[in-house]
Amino acid sequence: MYIILMYDVNQKRTGKMLKLCRKYLNWIQNSVFEGEITKVKLTELKIKAEEIMNAETDSLIIFKTRQEKWLEKEIIGKERSEIDNFI
């Protein structure tokens, strides 16, 4: 499946969340990621994210779609460069 994932966590935890999400998905903006992922890998990612997050203050939203072609993406302004992806 194809997913868009976004988190809103306390600043103390952004580094860990960023590192985790980048292992599974493509980083497209600030705290937003997208990519093709299997059900098993997504479950794994969610379990690990929940270990990092504070369930009372942090949030993680995932939009899932069966086919990437059902989503059309438009970027206005600055695109995250390839260099950013290696920071």
* CB closer to a copy of itself, 19 vs 43: 43
Report, in Å, the least distance between residue 83 CB and a copy of itself.
15
Closest approach of Cβ 52 to a copy of itself, in Å? 10
Q: Which helix (DSSP H) or strand (DSSP E) does residue 19 occupy? A: helix 11-24
Contact criterion met (CB below 8 Å) for 41 and 35: no
Q: Could you list the residues that contact a copy of itself (CB under 8 A)?
A: 4, 6, 8, 28-32, 46, 49-50, 53-66, 70-80
Per-residue CA distances from 28 to 1, 38, 78 (Å): 18, 19, 11
